[in-house]
Amino acid sequence: MTTDSWNKRYATSKNLFGHSPNEFLVSYKRHLKPGMTALAIGDGEAQNGIWLARQGLDVTSVDNSQVAHETAKRHAKEAGVAMHIICSDILDYLSRGKKYDIIVHFFVHLPAPLKQDLHQKIINSLNPTGYVLFECFHKDQLHYGTGGPQDINMLYDEADIEREFSQLKIDTLQKSMTNVYEETRGSQPGVSLQFVGFNSRD
């Protein structure tokens, strides 16, 4: 989807993907320590970034939709959390060379050539002990029709992750049934791929 299409979707809803943080992220709560630096890519209206900031992390939330960016700033203010909320293309942002303890990548589906570039930039942006928390639609999601891109090359399977994140140590890699929530459609079943990869550089 183009930035214009995302802007239109965000403009015609109140909270497009709801207020609740990603459940896979919440299940990792015990690994999160106050003061850690976290980057939330394609963070939309920032429900995940805000939740991370509430855990005491130093959060940067990046999305290139101007409409989501304004909503994210308003939500962070209402939540009373301080965080960096940046309106930028994620590939441009990651080219700045900043490093993070945690990078969260939830349901950001880029076209194939950009997707590979994104993965390498994420790996390069991890601190030596940093890790990636990832949940995106699995290729099997095409059979569900409950959300996500219809182009199989923008979706994921286990082999994609093993190949493209081979520089990381895989902690978790699992296909999972997930609740796909969208304001206009409510919760519907879908299938995702969840992944946690640690930087193995010393």
Ligand X SMILES: C[S@@+](CC[C@H](N)C(=O)[O-])C[C@H]1O[C@@H](n2cnc3c(N)ncnc32)[C@H](O)[C@@H]1O
Q: What whole-number distance in Å separates Cα of residue 15 and Cα of residue 177?
A: 23
Distance in Å, CB of 118 to ligand X, minimum: 8
Residue 136, CA distances (Å) to 50, 59, 71 in order: 20, 21, 23
Distance in Å, CB of 114 to ligand X, minimum: 7
Interface with ligand X (CB under 6 A), residue from 21, 32, 36, 44: 44
How many helices and strands in the chain, by DSSP H and E? Answer: 7, 7
Interface with ligand X (CB under 6 A), residue from 63, 75, 126, 134: 63
Give the total of residues touching ligand X (CB under 6 A): 16
6 binds ligand X (CB under 6 A): yes
Residue 22 DSSP code: P
The phi, psi pair for 163, rounded to 5°, reads: -75, -50
> Which residues lie closer than 8 Å to 160 by C-beta, 6 or more apart?
none
Considering only the stretches 103-111, 124-132, 149-157, 166-174, report the one whose residues sit in contact with ligand X under the rule CB under 6 A.
Answer: 103-111
Considering only the stretches 64-72, 94-102, 149-157, 184-192, report the one whose residues sit in contact with ligand X under the rule CB under 6 A.
Answer: 64-72
Interface with ligand X (CB under 6 A), residue from 108, 126, 155, 196: 108
Distance in Å, CB of 11 to ligand X, minimum: 12
43 binds ligand X (CB under 6 A): yes
What is the footprint of ligand X within residues 68-87 (CB under 6 A)? 68
The two structure tokens encoding residue 36: 């850690």
Residue 141, CA distances (Å) to 8, 97, 171, 179 in order: 24, 33, 23, 12
The two structure tokens encoding residue 46: 């920032």
Site residues (vs ligand X, CB under 6 A)? 6, 17, 22, 42-44, 62-65, 68, 89-90, 106-108
